[in-house]
Chains A and B, each alone.
Chain A
Amino acid sequence: MTKEKNDKGFNFGAYAFRQFRRNKPAYISLYILGFLALMALLAPVIANERPLFISYKGHHLYPALSFKKNYILTNDDGTKETIQLDIADWKQMKADKVVWAPIPYAPEKTDMLNAGYKGPHDAQLFKNSDGQIINMPSRFRHVMGTNSLGEDVASGLIHGARVSLTIGFIAMAIASVLGLILGSMAGYFGDSRLRTSRGQFWMVVLGIIAGWFYGFQTRQFNLQDALSTGTGKLIMQLLLSISIAIAVTVIFALIGRFLGKLPFLNKQVNIPVDSIVSRTIEIFHSMPTFILILTIAAIARPSMTNVMIIIGFTSWTGIARLTRAELLRIRQLEYIQAARALGFGELKIILRHALPNGIAPALVSIAFGIASAVLIESSLSFLGIGVPSDVVTWGSLVNDGRQQYSAWWLVVFPGVAIFLTVTVYNLIGEGLRDALDPKHKK
């Protein structure tokens, strides 16, 4: 009955959003975040070594937007000319017309003439298309200076937004999926609601082991070979392994359903989901996360994917704990009992009825989680651990600045960027917390 009323007269989502909008700092943060995301998305167009458009010997080219490796141009006199996109010196080309990106430098491209910490106001040099070295024209200035290698800080800042936002987002996506699934199962089923026959239970346990054995153990060399061949092959082999594992588990489960009808094996047993998940959360919680991340990052091959996965797998506990607590409360409510009485499947009840009402605290935790993931990522790249050394990130720029304290632009700009991102997420988290809490009315 209450639910019906909710549907017609009162929409909690709309109410929460109205509350959220009244919280000015949080609402502005949402816009800043949108701006940062746009900047990250458009990074190759905003800051790029290659021109957006160049008219070269009568050819109209769009190098910044091209995925090609080479341009093979046929000139008027019939000769062929190859331009390799990644190493071509665009600024030296005699172009009829050229449109540069707002920041005409790529983050990893070194500018030899301006190497050695050139500040925003220092004298900068430029080699023009005639090969002469002149004072920097204002169009090509390194507006935020350069580092020791002559890499452009502004460009690094814009491309670094990509790294930070992606890592924060994907790591928290992994954590959210884990936390929501485990937390809602623990909260909803508790220790006594998930019941199955003894035969079925043991067959599923055996099935998972057997599935792992046939899917992964016996195919370990296929997977190893695929890993060294390439990503496409690896994904194919992994998919095959996973489907074998699932198929074997399902077969065991089906046998288990049959066995569960036999005497002795048909005794009903409880699966203590809550105890298992709670203990796991406690164990994860008492683990020194940052040191764990450092340890794994030190041993694994440096890669962005690894960093995301490690952060994701170590930060799901908060979300799980909050979701568990909410669902523990919600499962006692009448409308859930009504849904059960109507004979809805457990999965449907959790996904359609229980979780949507219990997700609010988790959302807040996710917003804060992204902030701390961004912090962890920048700390890791500041230390140069786990993140590939050729990727320019905000943390790595600050680290560059640590080598030379006079180069304040290397410390201040990226630091402000990190600070801004973290603050924005924290403010959104706070705004969400206040907006989603019915007691807190503005």
Chain B
Amino acid sequence: MGRYLLKRILFFIPTLLIISLLAFIISLQAPGDPLDRMVSAQENGGEFQAQSANTQKEKDRWRKKLGLDLPVFYFSFSNAATPDTLYRIYDDNLRNASKRLINTYGNWEQISDWQKSLNILKNSLFEINALHAAAVDSSFSNADRDTIIEMDRLVSALLLAYDTRLIEIKLHQLQATCSAHNYFSPASTSLAGTLNAWNNVKSQSTPGKKYIPAIHFYGYNQYHRWIFGDGNWLTGKGAVDCKGWLRGDFGYSYETKLPVGNVLAERVRWSLFFTLISVTLAYLISLPIGIKAAAKKDSLFDRTSSVVLFVLYSMPAFWVATLLLMSFANPLAMDIFPSSGIQPVTGIPEGTSWIEAVRMRLPYLVLPTIAYTYSQLAFLSRITRVSTLEIISQDYIRTARAKGLSEGTVIYKHAFRNALLPIITVFSNIFPLAIGGSVILETIFTIPGMGQQVFHAIVSKDYPVIITVFTLTGVLTLIGYLIADILYAIADPRISYANK
């Protein structure tokens, strides 16, 4: 038994690894820049600095806090022309432009020189502007100021440009404007530097290098940080911003800017409550139905229950839930139950006894519980019936009957235990089903559980929450499997013996 369990647990490690990798890859594909979500947009007041220094500082702080200044994974597979430090370019557009230029020219050294020269040019433009702004100069008109701003925009655009023709046109424009106005003379050296750098990029190109595959390794990276935190990976000592997934730190929600763990911890209560209640109810109701139907095969009970369960099984959960609300929580039809929430809007007053509190909540719980239970119920009864039928047709049951045992003893003592096996296997499927289903049901019944949080996160594009729920559900599923395995081993001694 012990060895069997150990083997099962060991198998979970690659599964967890793959689930975490999948979650990580999905989170990388999430559109939009997380920093933009974290740093509330501030007014873009400065003419020359598109973002105010304050926003920039805040962004840098969050970048470090979220670990976005790190390489993505333990290794990157690219070509010989791409440097292993490309991840240090934080701006997505600039990084994209660099990648494209590398793809065309294959000489990162010259390309980075070109980008540096553009920044130098930008600085000298800034100085020219500052010079004229300080000295109130009648010869410097608003039109001239506009020209400088225009030039600055041009240089910024050049930084992000990667199309050769576009770059040359823009460079030409830059040159023409500079030579037309003599107040640009202080920038002439940096302009010459820029032109020179561009010529170098073109003349010293090595486009062939992109066909040579290369692999770069990184020790400390975003994935590692996400899983193990930024401290010691084993002990977690020295962690500053992130303790790591393994230690229950799931990152920050974009929406509330709070740790995801806190957001979900408040929510998980209700989901668990409904899942456990409904699973218990479903098992309690479905086992007798399934067994009875199988024991009296082709009887009236068997046929009616089969049809009813089949119908229930084919009905989508969201439809049943909507129908329930429409018929029992609708002022136009039967207004028996409240239509949303899990307690009166006014809340439960303090000092109410728990019996009173339960009584106040009960009407709110009836419809969700029915909706949660019914789909599992249909599924479980059908499986119970099929597996009991299979057992009943076996020889040892015939022997038991031939011995003259009562039908009850035959069914409940001899058949039941073996019929349980498939039902136990299903147990592991119920967790992910329940959590997946809770997204729909909690949204319909407005239950403040994890499912509703997931729906909310999807609508508001709060990716860290979605990813966390996905990985957590994966872990829960695995735990469900483990429990099922243990139960299975208990119900079927052959399993644990075979592995001894």
Instruction: Report A377 CB to chain B, min CB distance, Å.
Output: 10
Residue of A218, A291, A299, A371 most packed against chain B (CB within 10 A) = A291
Instruction: Report A316 CB to chain B, min CB distance, Å.
Output: 16
Nearest B residue to A412, CB-CB: B323
Question: Is there an interface contact between A382 and B466, defined as CB atoms closer than 8 Å?
Answer: no
Q: Quick check: which of A14-22, A79-87, A130-138, A417-425 contacts chain B, the rest being far away?
A: A417-425
**Known pairs A299-B26, A299-B31, A383-B443; A282 contacts B11 (CB<8 A):** yes
A176-203 contacts to B, CB under 8 A, are: none
Contact with B along A212-235 (1 / 0, CB 8 A): 011001101100000000000000
A286–B428 Cα distance when bound, in Å, is 9
B311 at the interface (CB under 8 A from A): yes
A382–B19 Cα distance when bound, in Å, is 27
A286–B8 Cα distance when bound, in Å, is 13
Within 8 Å CB of A210, what residues of B?
213
Contact with B along A16-45 (1 / 0, CB 8 A): 000000000000000000000000000000
Question: Is there an interface contact between B470 and A288, defined as CB atoms closer than 8 Å?
Answer: yes
A286–B77 Cα distance when bound, in Å, is 29
A375 at the interface (CB under 8 A from B): yes
Question: Is there an interface contact between A398 and B319, defined as CB atoms closer than 8 Å?
Answer: yes
Within 8 Å CB of B478, what residues of A?
286
**Known pairs A288-B474, A296-B26; A213 contacts B213 (CB<8 A):** yes
Number of A-B contacts (CB under 8 A): 144
Contact with B along A348-389 (1 / 0, CB 8 A): 000000000000000000000001000100110011010000
Please tell me the number of chain B residues within 8 Å of chain A, measured between CB atoms: 63
Within 8 Å CB of B329, what residues of A?
405
Question: Is there an interface contact between B316 and A426, defined as CB atoms closer than 8 Å?
Answer: no
Instruction: Report B387 CB to chain A, min CB distance, Å.
Output: 15
Question: Is there an interface contact between B26 and A289, defined as CB atoms closer than 8 Å?
Answer: no
Contact with A along B299-332 (1 / 0, CB 8 A): 0000000000011011111110011011001101
A419–B322 Cα distance when bound, in Å, is 14
Q: Given B316, B467, B477, which contacts A287 in the complex, CB threshold below 8 Å? A: B477
Instruction: Report B95 CB to chain A, min CB distance, Å.
Output: 13
**Known pairs A213-B213, A279-B14, A398-B322; A291 contacts B316 (CB<8 A):** no
A408 at the interface (CB under 8 A from B): yes
Q: Quick check: which of B35-43, B63-71, B355-363, B455-463 contacts chain A, the rest being far away?
A: B455-463
**Known pairs A279-B14, A288-B477, A291-B454; A415 contacts B439 (CB<8 A):** no
Instruction: Report B431 CB to chain A, min CB distance, Å.
Output: 8
A266-293 contacts to B, CB under 8 A, are: 279, 282-283, 286-292
Within 8 Å CB of B474, what residues of A?
286-288
Q: Given B31, B325, B458, which contacts A294 in the complex, CB threshold below 8 Å? A: B458
A298 at the interface (CB under 8 A from B): yes
Question: Is there an interface contact between A286 and B481, defined as CB atoms closer than 8 Å?
Answer: yes
Contact with B along A398-442 (1 / 0, CB 8 A): 100110011010010001001100110010000000000000000
**Known pairs A295-B470, A375-B316, A406-B332; A287 contacts B26 (CB<8 A):** no
A395 at the interface (CB under 8 A from B): yes
Question: Is there an interface contact between B326 and A286, defined as CB atoms closer than 8 Å?
Answer: no
Question: Is there an interface contact between B79 and A218, defined as CB atoms closer than 8 Å?
Answer: yes
Residue of B210, B326, B435 most packed against chain A (CB within 10 A) = B326
**Besides A295-B23, A379-B440, 7 other A-B contacts (C-beta < 8 A):** A288-B477, A289-B436, A291-B435, A378-B316, A382-B440, A405-B329, A422-B316
A203–B467 Cα distance when bound, in Å, is 37
B444 at the interface (CB under 8 A from A): yes
Q: Given B29, B314, B467, which contacts A426 in the complex, CB threshold below 8 Å? A: B314
Instruction: Report B352 CB to chain A, min CB distance, Å.
Output: 31
Question: Is there an interface contact between A218 and B211, defined as CB atoms closer than 8 Å?
Answer: yes
Question: Is there an interface contact between A398 and B318, defined as CB atoms closer than 8 Å?
Answer: yes
B418 at the interface (CB under 8 A from A): no
Question: Is there an interface contact between B31 and A288, defined as CB atoms closer than 8 Å?
Answer: no
B432 at the interface (CB under 8 A from A): yes
Within 8 Å CB of B26, what residues of A?
295-296, 299
Question: Is there an interface contact between B470 and A292, defined as CB atoms closer than 8 Å?
Answer: yes
Q: Given B23, B325, B469, which contacts A405 in the complex, CB threshold below 8 Å? A: B325
Question: Is there an interface contact between A288 and B436, defined as CB atoms closer than 8 Å?
Answer: yes
B199 at the interface (CB under 8 A from A): no
Instruction: Report A205 CB to chain B, min CB distance, Å.
Output: 14
Q: Give A contacts to B, CB under 8 Å.
A: 210, 213-214, 217-218, 220-221, 279, 282-283, 286-292, 294-296, 298-300, 371, 375, 378-379, 382-383, 385, 395, 398, 401-402, 405-406, 408, 411, 415, 418-419, 422-423, 426
Nearest A residue to B339, CB-CB: A405
Within 8 Å CB of B440, what residues of A?
379, 382-383
Within 8 Å CB of A291, what residues of B?
432, 435-436, 439, 454, 469-470, 473
B30 at the interface (CB under 8 A from A): yes
Q: Given A299, A382, A383, A423, which contacts B30 in the complex, CB threshold below 8 Å? A: A299
A371–B315 Cα distance when bound, in Å, is 11
Nearest B residue to A408, CB-CB: B326
Nearest A residue to B27, CB-CB: A299
A423–B314 Cα distance when bound, in Å, is 5
Nearest A residue to B443, CB-CB: A383
A394–B62 Cα distance when bound, in Å, is 43
B119 at the interface (CB under 8 A from A): no
**Known pairs A286-B474, A383-B455; A298 contacts B466 (CB<8 A):** yes
Nearest A residue to B455, CB-CB: A383
**Known pairs A279-B14, A371-B314; A415 contacts B432 (CB<8 A):** no
A296–B27 Cα distance when bound, in Å, is 9
Within 8 Å CB of A217, what residues of B?
77-79, 213
B103 at the interface (CB under 8 A from A): yes
A294–B454 Cα distance when bound, in Å, is 9
Listed by A's residue number, 13 A-B pairs whose Cβ atoms lie within 8 Å are: A217-B78, A220-B103, A221-B100, A221-B103, A288-B436, A288-B477, A290-B435, A291-B432, A291-B435, A294-B436, A300-B29, A383-B318, A411-B319
Within 8 Å CB of A300, what residues of B?
29
Instruction: Report A244 CB to chain B, min CB distance, Å.
Output: 12
Within 8 Å CB of B457, what residues of A?
298
Question: Is there an interface contact between A289 and B432, defined as CB atoms closer than 8 Å?
Answer: yes
Question: Is there an interface contact between B322 and A290, defined as CB atoms closer than 8 Å?
Answer: no
**Known pairs A415-B319, A419-B319; A290 contacts B439 (CB<8 A):** yes
Question: Is there an interface contact between B318 and A395, defined as CB atoms closer than 8 Å?
Answer: yes
Nearest B residue to A212, CB-CB: B77
B324-379 contacts to A, CB under 8 A, are: 325-326, 329-330, 332-333, 339
**Known pairs A218-B211, A299-B463, A402-B322; A288 contacts B432 (CB<8 A):** yes
B15 at the interface (CB under 8 A from A): yes
Which 9 A-B residue pairs are closest in the complex by CB-CB distance? Answer: A290-B436, A288-B473, A288-B432, A298-B458, A415-B319, A423-B314, A422-B314, A405-B330, A382-B318
Residue of A395, A405, A423 most packed against chain B (CB within 10 A) = A405
Question: Is there an interface contact between B79 and A411, defined as CB atoms closer than 8 Å?
Answer: no
B18 at the interface (CB under 8 A from A): yes
Within 8 Å CB of B437, what residues of A?
290
Instruction: Report B445 CB to chain A, min CB distance, Å.
Output: 11
B232-272 contacts to A, CB under 8 A, are: none
A221–B103 Cα distance when bound, in Å, is 8
A287–B14 Cα distance when bound, in Å, is 12
Instruction: Report B212 CB to chain A, min CB distance, Å.
Output: 10
Instruction: Report B273 CB to chain A, min CB distance, Å.
Output: 19
A217–B325 Cα distance when bound, in Å, is 52
Question: Is there an interface contact between A415 and B323, defined as CB atoms closer than 8 Å?
Answer: yes
Question: Is there an interface contact between A283 and B323, defined as CB atoms closer than 8 Å?
Answer: no
Within 8 Å CB of B332, what residues of A?
405-406
Within 8 Å CB of B310, what residues of A?
423, 426
A310–B78 Cα distance when bound, in Å, is 28
